[in-house]
Amino acid sequence: MTKTRQNRPTATAAPRWAVRAAHVTALLALPSGVWRLLLGAGFLAGYTEAGYAAAGIPGWGRVYVVALSLATELLALLTLGLVRSWGEVLPSRVPFFGGRRVPPRPVTVAAGAGAVGLILLWTPFTLWWSLPHPDMTALGATVAGFLYLPLVAWGPLLVAVTVSYHRRHRARD
């Protein structure tokens, strides 16, 4: 069976607001990611020495925080696929699947589920400043709070971009 290649997107272009929201979403993970990379590099980054050790960051914890930072940013960058052509037709350089149309329904379901998960994960973070952080310095807790706060907007922005994607592709589904 030969695979058919479709080299151009078939949906209408994403609205400008959705493109901007997708780009903002990709940037939201950067502040906390940079902070975690500092932790992975051995900086206390607001932790007390005891708190840094208790968080399990020395040793394999460093690998974990670096991997978490990279994974988080890659997931945030996937939002761009909802407004770019590679979210409709896989680039030809992708082995085995390059040039094939991306089915919109699974994309919409995955993005919607991801958005709900992000809302459930990050909305409680708004309570950060009302909780004690004995493993961090006062300044460190404040800075970490502000670096993670943008993640609260990730879920709602992903919902908006996903709804835009769904509306543009519902006729094809």
Kindly report the length of the chain: 173
pTM of the model: 0.86
Predicted confidence at residue 1, as pLDDT, reads 42
Distance CA 69, CA 144 (A): 14
Say what the pLDDT of residue 95 is: 83
* Model pLDDT, residue 126: 92
Q: What is the pLDDT of residue 98?
A: 78
Residues of the chain with pLDDT under 50: 1-5
Give first-to-last CA distance, the chain, whole Å: 23
pLDDT, position 171: 64
What is the per-residue pLDDT for 54?
A: 86
Q: For residue 43, what are its two tokens?
A: 């900086």
Q: Output the CA–CA distances (angstroms, integers) from residue 76 to 21, 73, 158, 159, 165, in the order listed.
A: 11, 5, 9, 13, 16
The pLDDT assigned to 92 comes to 82
